[in-house]
Structure 1
Amino acid sequence: MLLANMAVAHIIYGLFHEQALLRRHPPPQTNMLDDLAAFFEELGVKLDLRTAGALHNTLNETVGNDQYSAARKEVLTHMCSRPMQMAQYFCTGVLRDETLFRHYALNVPLYTHFTSPIRRYADIIVHRLLAASLGSGHQFGLDKSDIQKQADHCNAKKSASKKVQELSTDIFFSVFVKECGPLESEAMVMGVLDQSFDVLVLRYGIQKRVYCNVSIVY
């Protein structure tokens, strides 16, 4: 599937240099990445953050045979997801700098969605571009502004659906705890604040903030 998507991306970009609908994944936010690397270095963990593949290999190297190592990898993976940005659809005629076309997570220069049933609208545009490239469809009539408008629409809907998914997960987990709780599970501390601390509940794969009842005496 990935090879098909990459091949189609190269074809439509080669023949429709100004109108290709591609999908890019920007690299992680630099300032957050630097802070994360410095934090891990203090813990004695050196992460290679140059590419997604290098990061994946580094995380795998941190895993040993004991239960603690597996838990540590889960925490590291969760923390490494924070600086990551969302992938976006774009029109090549609007974003002209080819260095920005790359897909960081997949580590490829050109990518699109040709075989993604859950993103059918983007698929339709890419299919029409490919058909026109092969001379087996109607002439493609959308200009770069039309393509970018549809790309922005797809990006906005994807962002909205992600937020709804996260909120839905929180709601259903709350219902689950209410009906089946109280629940006990091991957790690892992700961060410590003034009057609270964040933990990753390993059994359920969720992060929660625990507030402390601190009495301040003057």
Structure 2
Amino acid sequence: MTFCNRAEAGRRLTEQLRAWRSDPPIVVALAPRGVPLAVGVAAALHTPLDAVLVHELSVPGCPPGTLGAVGEDGVTEINTYLAGRLGVGLARVDQEARRAAELILHAQRSLRELVPEESVAGRTVILVDDGVATGAAASVAVTVLRKRGVSRLVLAVPVGARSVLGRLRTTVDALVCVREMPWPRPVGEWYEDYPDVTDEEARELLVRAARYHASDPFPSFAATAHSMSCGALV
């Protein structure tokens, strides 16, 4: 285990991101899983907060993300070679990819009815997730943000597999990681307490963050974000 929970991981990550406040950036959560951390990071850095939605492909017998991921704007990354090696038919992978795309479209519509999308064109973006195991979700999110015209892209995670981080480092302008691990593991194995974050919970966190920011744009929100960043709705 590396971190007690997402709240601790978020605090450690924020410490390494304070130098970026002078830019100033937009914090974008890799949703749904990265939203709890991103809420706290954005509050501490006094920056706008938004999200890009990505679902890792989940097929029985394969850890999430092993076969790829699907994100907004139709961005998809599928590891067909590995699917073949693992005996997963392409029809099964395609079925899961279509299901993930439908979930993302529904979650995107639900979120944007309540939280307008921040324009990232020409801006510095800090993309926040709670860990990198396969890199599929992060890779898809990076592609989505590049297509939207970001000027500078920083990938920020508390923990990740060294080999995967090395590959992702070539796709972003900067990478911030608190602890690089020598072996790939499911992200949850690097936390003692790691509750799942659903699309609905992520949306609620983002809506509450937007409301706090509108009514009291920090500093009191920064304190409230600590309770929100654990992944539970309180």
**Does TM-score exceed 0.5, indicating one fold?**
no
Question: Normalised by the shorter chain, which TM-score bucket?
Answer: under 0.3
The answer to which structure has the higher strand fraction is: 2
The higher-RCO structure (CA 8 Å, 6+ apart) is 2
TM-score normalized by structure 2? 0.23
